[in-house]
Structure formats: structure tokens, C-alpha cells
């Protein structure tokens, strides 16, 4: 008899860059302007993301699913029985 042991650990990365927007732009227009000008930041954010290290945990408000545990251990036996360890 075999039992499968699994562990799930949640890690995240956060990358941050700054983009100059035109002076005097209304707050309501910034979203559309950023979408229209993504060429100003998309490569920069990809580069920073590649250089950023993984951090354990959810990252707080980073858009991940609402999970309640950062780490989880489970076992499964066949396809009908299992649980948390």
C-alpha cells in the first residue's frame, strides 16, 4: 500500500517601477494613459520581476486567491481518501 504525501507552500514576488505621466493629467485619466503606453514600463517590470527573489507568504493584497494558510501538508490514498497532516 502506498500513501502520497504532498506539501503546498505559497511564495510571491512583487516588482515595482515608476513611470512619469504627463504633468497636469487628471487622476481619472491615468488608468487609460497607462494602458495606452504600456511600452514605457512593461519591459522594466519584467526585468525587475526576474531579479526579485521569492518571499514566503501571500504578499498581502497581491491579487492571489483567498487562501487561509501559507503552507499546507496533505496526504492522499487512492482517489477517495486523504486529508491534512
Q: Return d(Cα 11, Cα 1) in angstroms, integer.
A: 33
Of 9, 14, 13, 25, nearest to 70 by C-alpha is: 9
Domain coordinates in residue numbering, the chain: 4-16+29-84
Mean predicted confidence (pLDDT) in 57-66:
56
pTM over 0.75: no
What mean pLDDT value characterizes the chain?
A: 77
Q: What is the pLDDT of residue 62?
A: 45
Highest mean pLDDT among 19-23, 68-72, 81-85: 19-23
Amino acid at each position: 500500500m502506498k500513501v502520497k504525501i504532498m506539501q503546498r507552500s505559497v511564495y510571491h514576488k512583487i516588482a515595482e517601477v515608476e513611470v512619469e505621466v504627463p504633468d497636469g493629467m487628471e487622476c481619472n485619466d491615468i488608468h487609460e494613459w497607462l494602458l495606452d503606453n504600456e511600452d514605457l514600463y512593461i519591459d522594466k517590470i519584467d526585468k525587475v520581476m526576474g531579479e526579485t527573489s521569492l518571499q514566503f507568504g501571500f504578499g498581502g493584497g497581491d491579487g492571489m486567491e483567498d487562501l487561509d494558510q501559507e503552507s499546507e501538508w496533505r496526504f492522499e490514498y487512492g482517489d477517495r481518501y486523504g486529508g491534512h497532516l
